[in-house]
Chains A and B, each alone.
Chain A
Amino acid sequence: MLLRLIKRELRRLTSRKIYIFMMLIVPLGCSFFLLNLMNEGLPLKVPVGMVDLDHSSLSRKVGRSLSASELIDISSDLEDFHSAMEKVRSGEIYGFFLIPRDFQKKAIGGSTPTLSFYSNMAIFVPGSLSYKGFKTIAVTTSGGIVKTTLVGAGADETTAGSLIQPMVIRTHPLNNPWTNYAIYLCQSFIPCLLALIVLLVTVFSICQEHKIGSSVEWLREAGGNMAMALLGKLLPQTLIFTAVGVALQSVMFGYLHFPLNNHPLHMILAMFLLVAACQGFAVFITEMLPNLRIALSVMSLTGILCFSIAGFSFPVEKMYGGVAIFSYLVPIRYYFLIYIDQALNGIPIYYSRFYYIALLIFMLLPALGLRRLKKQCINPVYVP
């Protein structure tokens, strides 16, 4: 009986272009897009400007160090502050470095001139990168002058070094020493996109039965057993989505060498559970809201909100309490936490046990409304 149901479902899946489009082309195509777009890892070479009001040998030296930095790219030498601001406003540059008049004279004369730099934080990543690049140059310039003065005054190189930097804090970014930005975005957005598609397709494929009135026949095939009918319907989809998900994982972990510091099976299991959990979540919503459009709308709204509420960029524990709890109501949050523990940090699976269990619970959610769903299947109503 299960085999017959699976065959029926496979026939349905292959008979409409939208399924093939949604289940294969969209996840694979979008992932290719994201991975290809960000294959640099970090958007280095931020276009910035430089305003040199001093035109001295020292200011030119600063300019040379600026152009040597890999973080920024001096795309324009600007006349004055106003023309620089104009370029920032028009979006041509993301920041600029300003060397004041009489910079060299003051620096050597000991009257502390100020190097100022401007970063446009309205676009976060290039803004931050340009800030980092500018700051490094400003600090090294300052250090270089001190060192020259000290050595000139008779101190030896090491003494001079320890005088300039008597203490250093070495920051060790664990498991992502390159501070690769693409790893963040791809490892969170690609699974979340897949989760969104699973939610939509699951709801669509079930409610479609109501819409065209084939649900009675579907239930009959399963001998009136709703759980069996659902299993037969969703199992082929689970397999396809898991295969797509694992393929994407293998591209990221295997081909692109994103950090995977534990056994790959931990992540494959997580992917399977994510797909199944999303299906469970979607079926549950369908049971509660048996209307194709409303259920789909709810799934789209949640699926899209997942990208923000799951805390991929802003930490959940710092969100407002009333908002943060919603984070734990979506399956993708647990997959993301498993990813951090198992793939990125590679800690023992013991610490992620609750996340796996949470995904299992999502999987079992549909059991709560089976009777409701059966009633709807016997009397399919389509409300536009």
Chain B
Amino acid sequence: MNWLKNLFRVWRRETHLVFTDIGVLLFFFALPLAYPIVYTLIYNPEIVKKIDTVVVDNSRSAESRELVRELGATQGVNIVGYAADMGEARRAMMEKKCYGVLEIPSDYGRRIGRGEQAVTSFYCDMSLLLRFRQYLFAMTDVQMNEVTRITSQRLADGGLLTSSIGGLPVDSQPNFLGDVTQGFASFVMPGIVVLILQQSMLLGITMISGTSRDRRRRNGGTDPLDYDAGPTATVLGKSLCYLMIYLPLSYYILEIVPYMFSLPHVGRFMDFMPMIFVMLLATSFLGQTLQIFVRERESSLLVIVFTSVVFLFLSGLTWPRYAFNKFWLMVSDLIPATFGMEGLIRINSNGASLADVSQYYWGLWALTGLYFVTALLLRYFVSRKPKSQTAEGTITV
């Protein structure tokens, strides 16, 4: 009973500390509320359309004009004009007036007329992968269409073999799962929001503890605002406070934000809420472990912010996890956002149920256990030796 009372008091004190500290409020509320919107706005055009492209047409035949028309009609390409030669096209590219050059050789029309194979070259600026990808799709489309058109014409003209081949003997049908439109925001956002939840919570927790250590330093080794309770009650009480704040926020992030920007959202409440609950729990314990590295209020920013980049890569969103070596795979398994992202992306975009992603779900429970123990040990160590806090005393300059 006494323990429960302590738990309640720790929770009350922590909530008080959070709501009276504008810096922490910024991390706990402004960040998770605003960042998903800011990020989605950046990527919301989703698909790179109409990339400026220049054509060098040395053939000047009906066939080459047909090819350019086809290319201009694709989603990815916008023909800005013709260049007299490759030199002029190159200059346009250097001045960033175009990102790709199609060079049609002088014998293009002739070769097609003769029934030979005609080869054209496309030169593509490689500064951004998305542009290259879009160009590649456009070129494949155009080539397929042209090939089908020319072949059927040739076969009809030739008069032979038409009966044995009517078009291609085997059709192929690509299907896209998850992010069906292949939009960029639709791919990035379901993952990034999970990282935002974790990082903002870590920032807030470490700032609270950094501030407490600042106070302790000023008050000769004790923090007047610290509520003295057992280690278990302290760790759990604090986590209770963070979860109370974060559960509604994650509902906003996982349910409302996708509706606002019509991102893929086929996950069900009963699948993603348990998942995010464990992830937040694990993160709250991780934060209480990491606070040992934060010795003053402001250094929380220095210590935590750059980890966002590291955690982003560890999560496998940009570089898939199957290509990790054993060591980095192990490290990535220690980050709650990794499992959170893997699981929540599948729930949100692929419509997986909690049972489908159970491996990530149980992985998160394991992390929860691990970080609970570390946070507890840390708390035990700190509360056992209150005097040792004076040792860290003043910050040397």
Binding site for B on A (CB under 8 A): 12, 15-16, 18, 22, 26, 30, 33-34, 36-38, 40, 43-47, 86, 88-91, 94-95, 107, 110, 112-128, 131, 134-135, 138-139, 141-142, 145-146, 149-150, 153, 155, 159, 161-176, 179, 181, 184-185, 189, 193, 196-197, 200-201, 204, 207, 211-212, 214, 292-293, 296-297, 300, 303-305, 307-309, 311-315, 318-320, 323, 340-341, 344-345, 347-348, 351, 384
CB-based nearest A residue for B108: A167
Q: Does B206 contact A (CB under 8 A)?
A: no
Q: Which residues of B contact A161 (CB under 8 A)?
A: 117
Query: Which residues of chain B (98-153) have a CB below 8 Å from chain A?
Result: 102, 112, 115-133, 135-136, 139-140, 142-143, 146-147, 150-151
Question: Would you give the shortest CB distance from A144 to chain B, in whole angstroms?
Answer: 9
Question: Would you give the shortest CB distance from A6 to chain B, in whole angstroms?
Answer: 16
Which among B229-237, B241-249, B284-292, B356-364 touches the partner chain?
B356-364
Question: Would you give the shortest CB distance from A47 to chain B, in whole angstroms?
Answer: 6
* In the bound complex, CA of A331 to CA of B236 (Å): 43
Contact B150 A167 (CB under 8 A): yes
Known contacts: A122-B190, A122-B350, A169-B139. The answer to whether A142 contacts B172 by CB under 8 A is yes
Q: Which residues of A contact B252 (CB under 8 A)?
A: none
Q: Which residues of A contact B125 (CB under 8 A)?
A: 174, 345
Q: Does B397 contact A (CB under 8 A)?
A: yes
CB-based nearest B residue for A294: B23
Contact A196 B306 (CB under 8 A): yes
What does the 1/0 interface line of B170-212 toward A look like (CB < 8 Å)?
1111111111101010010010000000000000000000010
Q: Does B38 contact A (CB under 8 A)?
A: yes
Which of B131, B133, B308 interacts with A128 by CB under 8 Å? B133
Which of B38, B44, B299, B346 interacts with A122 by CB under 8 Å? B346
Contact A293 B297 (CB under 8 A): yes
Main secondary structure of the interface of A (DSSP, over half): helix
Contact B298 A162 (CB under 8 A): no
Q: Does B264 contact A (CB under 8 A)?
A: yes
* In the bound complex, CA of A280 to CA of B30 (Å): 27
Binding site for A on B (CB under 8 A): 23, 26, 38-39, 41-45, 48-49, 51, 67, 94-95, 102, 112, 115-133, 135-136, 139-140, 142-143, 146-147, 150-151, 154-155, 161, 164-180, 182, 184, 187, 190, 211, 214, 264, 295, 297-299, 301-303, 305-306, 308-310, 313, 316-320, 322-325, 328, 342-343, 345-346, 349-353, 356-357, 359-360, 395-397
* In the bound complex, CA of A175 to CA of B174 (Å): 30
* In the bound complex, CA of A227 to CA of B22 (Å): 32
Known contacts: A119-B174, A212-B395, A384-B297. The answer to whether A168 contacts B143 by CB under 8 A is yes
Contact A138 B172 (CB under 8 A): yes
Q: Which residues of B contact A347 (CB under 8 A)?
A: 94
Which of A33, A121, A167, A204 interacts with B146 by CB under 8 Å? A167
**New A-B pairs, 6, CB < 8 Å, besides A201-B302, A313-B128, A320-B41:** A89-B350, A122-B264, A174-B124, A211-B298, A312-B128, A347-B94
Q: Which residues of B contact A114 (CB under 8 A)?
A: 170-173
Which of A168, A319, A384 interacts with B23 by CB under 8 Å? A384
Known contacts: A110-B166, A123-B316, A297-B301. The answer to whether A172 contacts B121 by CB under 8 A is yes
Q: Which residues of A contact B130 (CB under 8 A)?
A: 313-315
Q: Which residues of A contact B303 (CB under 8 A)?
A: 18
Contact A163 B151 (CB under 8 A): yes
Q: Which residues of A contact B297 (CB under 8 A)?
A: 293, 384
Which of A15, A122, A323 interacts with B178 by CB under 8 Å? A122
Which of A37, A117, A314, A348 interacts with B324 by CB under 8 Å? A37
* In the bound complex, CA of A141 to CA of B357 (Å): 35
CB-based nearest A residue for B351: A89
Q: Which residues of B contact A164 (CB under 8 A)?
A: 147, 151
Contact B124 A173 (CB under 8 A): yes
Question: Would you give the shortest CB distance from B188 to chain A, in whole angstroms?
Answer: 8
Known contacts: A168-B118, A174-B124. The answer to whether A318 contacts B48 by CB under 8 A is yes
CB-based nearest B residue for A114: B171
Question: Would you give the shortest CB distance from A94 to chain B, in whole angstroms?
Answer: 8
Contact A122 B43 (CB under 8 A): no
* In the bound complex, CA of A309 to CA of B173 (Å): 36
Question: Would you give the shortest CB distance from B284 to chain A, in whole angstroms?
Answer: 21
Question: Would you give the shortest CB distance from B347 to chain A, in whole angstroms?
Answer: 9
Which of B173, B187, B351 interacts with A115 by CB under 8 Å? B173
Question: Would you give the shortest CB distance from B314 to chain A, in whole angstroms?
Answer: 8
Q: Which residues of B contact A309 (CB under 8 A)?
A: 42
Which of B116, B122, B171, B322 interacts with A171 by CB under 8 Å? B122
Q: Which residues of B contact A304 (CB under 8 A)?
A: 305, 308-309
Known contacts: A113-B170, A169-B139, A319-B42. The answer to whether A120 contacts B356 by CB under 8 A is no
* In the bound complex, CA of A339 to CA of B135 (Å): 22
* In the bound complex, CA of A47 to CA of B324 (Å): 13
CB-based nearest A residue for B324: A37
Contact A292 B324 (CB under 8 A): no
* In the bound complex, CA of A148 to CA of B166 (Å): 15
Contact B176 A189 (CB under 8 A): no
Q: Which residues of A contact B295 (CB under 8 A)?
A: 18
Q: Which residues of B contact A313 (CB under 8 A)?
A: 128-130, 184
* In the bound complex, CA of A115 to CA of B172 (Å): 5
Question: Would you give the shortest CB distance from B265 to chain A, in whole angstroms?
Answer: 12
CB-based nearest B residue for A181: B129
Contact B154 A174 (CB under 8 A): no
Known contacts: A89-B350, A297-B26. The answer to whether A167 contacts B119 by CB under 8 A is yes
Contact A193 B38 (CB under 8 A): no
Which of A15, A125, A318 interacts with B320 by CB under 8 Å? A125
CB-based nearest B residue for A214: B397
CB-based nearest A residue for B214: A384
Contact B319 A185 (CB under 8 A): yes
Which of B131, B147, B168, B319 interacts with A166 by CB under 8 Å? B147
Contact A12 B397 (CB under 8 A): yes
Q: Which residues of A contact B395 (CB under 8 A)?
A: 16, 212
